[in-house]
Structure 1
Amino acid sequence: MFAFNTLDSSLRQRLAKGVAGATLATAALAAVASVPVAQADFPQRDIRMIVPWPAGGGADAISRKISSLAEESLPTSIYVENIGGAVTATGLMQLAKARPDGHTIGVLTYDSVVTLPRGNMVPGYSLDKLEPFARVTQEADAIVVSKQSGYSSYEELIEAARANPGTVRIGVAPQGSGPYLAVRRLEAATGVSFNVISYPGSSTAEAEALLSGEIDAAISSLGDFSGILSSGDAMGVVELSGSQNPAYPDVPPISEFDVELETGSFIVLAVPANTSEEAIETLESTYHQAFESEEFQQWVTGIGVTPGWLGSDEVNEWIEDYQQRTFAAMDELDL
């Protein structure tokens, strides 16, 4: 075996160049291997959208509609998978564990942003594991009464609850939800007492309860009840907002009755944390294009939902502010 320093100078130079070349080649291979998959042409396969509610509700319908329009700008499809349970945590924890390459996205609603973080309800659930990139809608909650309830206005509903405390049956989502907080705030603001009945899952259960006469009224968005509103089996009597909803000119905002109460729902789109900026930019621009399309705007306002776009630069700040305001209201009511 020869020592390196015993070789002639020309051979030493050739060996040195060979070692340097090998080192550069190795470094180049390492650099290529370290490039995230999502930086290649995106998307490379169909995109999975997780809706953390059962099929049939408002969040499901809106998510499917905008995704069907978004995929028209992509070389692949976007398919929706409903994974309900644990007040959205079951589906969103699957989102958080998905590969952060942009091929799995999910839907955040009020419960995802407020109910779960507020109560630390599900071990391991955290918004820090997700990266929101767009808000699509922001809609006010409303009070809807069944046709057979005998009530035809907000004033009649409140007067009945005041005259006979605990007898007017009103359906809402479980404690910690936006509608539950809304009914408690309404009681505090008006000095009345309702018989509050909670329904887990989507607003579909409340709609069925209204139709069967199990409850007199329910709180959710007008969009969630669009089916029974259009059929005439129910009617909206007030929207928990400070301004008139142009899609429902016959449903007054609660501000007309000197009550300050604004609450509602929204749809935010998110990916797993650490998803590449390139993938997020593609998803954001694709969904923004779908959002701005005439078809989506006409459809979403037609079901009584207010479109409200925020991009990736704004949505996280909005979520933080929304949490702070809502938690403060909960603290006032000791909820």
Structure 2
Amino acid sequence: MNEHLRVKQWVTTEGELDERHVKGRETLYQGWNGRCVERFIGADGCSYIFKPLTHPDQYGKEQWVAEHVLPALPPIYPRLIAASSPGTAPERSWIVYEDLGRLVHDSSEETMIAAAAQIARWHSLPAAQWAGLPRHGHKPPMDRMLDELLELGQTVNEMLANLGIHLTVDQWKRIPVWIRLSSAALSPVLCHGDLHPGNIAASEGRTVIIDWEHAHLNNPLWDVYHLIDLSHPLFPRRVSPELRERVLEAYLDGRERHGERAERVKRSSFVQWYHAYAFVFSIWMLRLIEGDLRREHCVWPEDQLRNQWRETAAALNQCAAALFGQTTGPHERPERGIE
């Protein structure tokens, strides 16, 4: 009996681990729908990762990516061992992955630079082979974020002013120009889609990238922003302008190693576009976090959200400084948020 069929017998028709074949289990985290991702010991004595569908919008996507996209990459991802049969109802669907061991999500410079090199590698693959992938992930595309912020106008200006960022009309006009220039000059690439610090790890001396269910085709800046500046309530980190510069350099070095001379644009242009992209994305993230803080019942604890807000505000300040030469001091989030 092959490995797939053997492991498949350890899961019931209801999409749950069968206690008769499981020697031990450990909950790793709980998904949005309440179902849990678990590490378990199978009947063969080996350790595996059991991942039921944790969000209905992702039905079928993760398995498709594991089967059709990930084999083109180096072994930086967990291997798919078994999965529920096609047509299985979403509430009973599941995947079993190999267990890569204890993952360290330290967001150290070494890990971020190693991840930048890997991102450059998969960004250099011909995207045409994945024409069936969507063009955006579970967050709005950048052009929609930008349009939303421009429509908000004064509300965004007031939020920036509370952070000590004061842009002139001419400075504001440069932001959409840089965003649109990057969109025109940088070809869509395979993007992981959700490359926050919890999905990047070190394991036994190698870089590991997990949770590829949001893979799609997009501007390469999407993945690079997630790597460097996307904050997460569960995985705090500190990014300085110097670290940001080194990670960007590692990414661009990687693109050149794989035959892409920064998409035939100057490095200085790519770096400028990155800061504009991160500026817009960080404003959008701050508004998202503000909404979570106002919500009466939120999945994240308030202190973790406040720390995420501070990290995102710091990234926004640093990007403003890089683009316009503005420097600001530390700021605390108002108690009830930005009205």
TM-score by length of 1: 0.24
Larger radius of gyration: 1
Q: Relative contact order (alpha carbons < 8 A, sep ≥ 6): 1 or 2 greater? A: 1
Indicate the structure with greater strand content.
1
TM-score by length of 2: 0.24
